[in-house]
């Protein structure tokens, strides 16, 4: 059987299949160690996201909440949020790991807000601050989602 390695191309990133030949033949203690290392990596993942970009955890929560509660969201907006989220996951945040260049959402900010509000009505939970609405959250994260840099005019 021929193995498939390239699973998907997202902009300049590729998702590839890695085969762990021989895993089934490992002794049980090594399989258990692998499982614990996997769990440790998940535990450290949020720390890594947070250290790479101060808004990354909130941004990830927003896009994941939208994708997991997507019923009724406009198809084009949903496709763009899905593309962005995949790049976000691959790079552990909104900056390319090879170039450090920030990538942005290519839909209007109002479309992201509308998608988030629909997802909220569908049961999504967002990282809102006390008293903050979903719309206010999206407005607060507008710069991180939509602008390559936050330049302050002189």
Q: Which pLDDT value is given to residue 9?
A: 97
Tens of pLDDT along the chain (154 residues)? 899 999 999 999 999 999 999 999 999 999 999 999 999 999 999 999 999 999 999 999 999 999 999 999 999 999 999 999 999 999 999 999 999 999 999 999 999 999 999 999 999 999 999 999 999 999 999 999 999 875 555 4
In a domain, 139, yes or no: yes
Q: Which pLDDT value is given to residue 149?
A: 73
Same-domain status, 133 and 62: yes
| Long-range CB contacts for residues 140-148, cutoff 8 Å, separation at least 24 | 141/55, 141/58, 141/59, 141/62, 142/109, 144/53, 144/55, 144/59, 144/94, 145/59, 145/94, 145/104, 145/105, 145/109, 145/112, 146/104, 146/105, 146/109, 147/104, 148/101, 148/102, 148/104
Same-domain status, 60 and 47: no
In a domain, 154, yes or no: no
Count CA within 13 A, CB hemisphere, residue 65.
Answer: 24
Say how many domains are in the chain.
2
Same-domain status, 62 and 44: no
Same-domain status, 61 and 110: yes
Query: Could you list the residue range(s) of the whole structural domain that residue 35 is in?
Result: 6-51
Q: Which pLDDT value is given to residue 150?
A: 55
In a domain, 153, yes or no: no
Q: Are 102 and 148 in contact (CB under 8 A)?
A: yes
Same-domain status, 84 and 107: yes
Q: Which pLDDT value is given to residue 151?
A: 52
In a domain, 152, yes or no: no
């Amino acid at each position: 059987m021929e193995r498939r390695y390239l699973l998907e191309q997202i902009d300049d990133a590729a998702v590839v299949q890695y085969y762990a030949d021989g895993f089934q033949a490992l002794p049980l203690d090594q399989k258990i160690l692998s499982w614990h290392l996997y769990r440790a990596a998940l535990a450290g993942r949020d720390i890594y996201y947070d250290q790479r970009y101060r808004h990354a955890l909130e941004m990830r929560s927003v896009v994941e909440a939208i994708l997991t509660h997507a019923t009724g969201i406009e198809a084009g907006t949903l496709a763009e949020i899905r593309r962005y989220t995949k790049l976000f996951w691959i790079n552990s945040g909104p900056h390319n790991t090879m170039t450090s260049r920030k990538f942005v959402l290519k839909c209007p900010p109002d479309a992201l807000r509308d998608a988030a509000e629909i997802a909220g009505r569908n049961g999504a939970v967002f990282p809102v601050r006390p008293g903050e609405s979903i719309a206010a959250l999206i407005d607060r994260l507008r710069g991180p989602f939509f602008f390559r840099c936050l330049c302050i005019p002189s």
